[in-house]
Amino acid sequence: MYNHANVIKEIKENRKEMQELREKMESFFETMEVLSDKRAMRSLAASDRDIKAGRVHKWSEIKKDFLGGK
C-alpha cells in the first residue's frame, strides 16, 4: 500500500522523467527540422569542407580582430 510520502516521491520522479522526455523530443524535432532544411544542410556541408581544407581561424584571432583583443 502506498503512503502519502511515497506517492509524492513517485509523482516528483515522474515529473522529472516527463521533463527529460520533453527535452529529448524537442531536441529530436529541432534536429529533424535542420536535417530537412536543404539550405542549412548545404551550409553545413560547405562548413565541413572548409574545416577539412584548413580554412579556419582560431577563436583568439577572431576575438582580437573583432573585439580589439578583449
CB 23 within 8 A of CB 15: no
Question: pLDDT at residue 70 above 90?
Answer: no
- Greater model confidence, 1 or 26: 26
- Please tell me whether the overall predicted TM-score, pTM, comes out greater than 0.75 for this model: no
Range 18-42 average pLDDT: 97
Q: What distance in Å separates the CA atoms of residue 7 and residue 2, rounded to the nearest whole number? A: 6
* pLDDT tens digits, one per residue of 32-69: 999 999 999 999 999 999 999 999 999 999 988 888 85
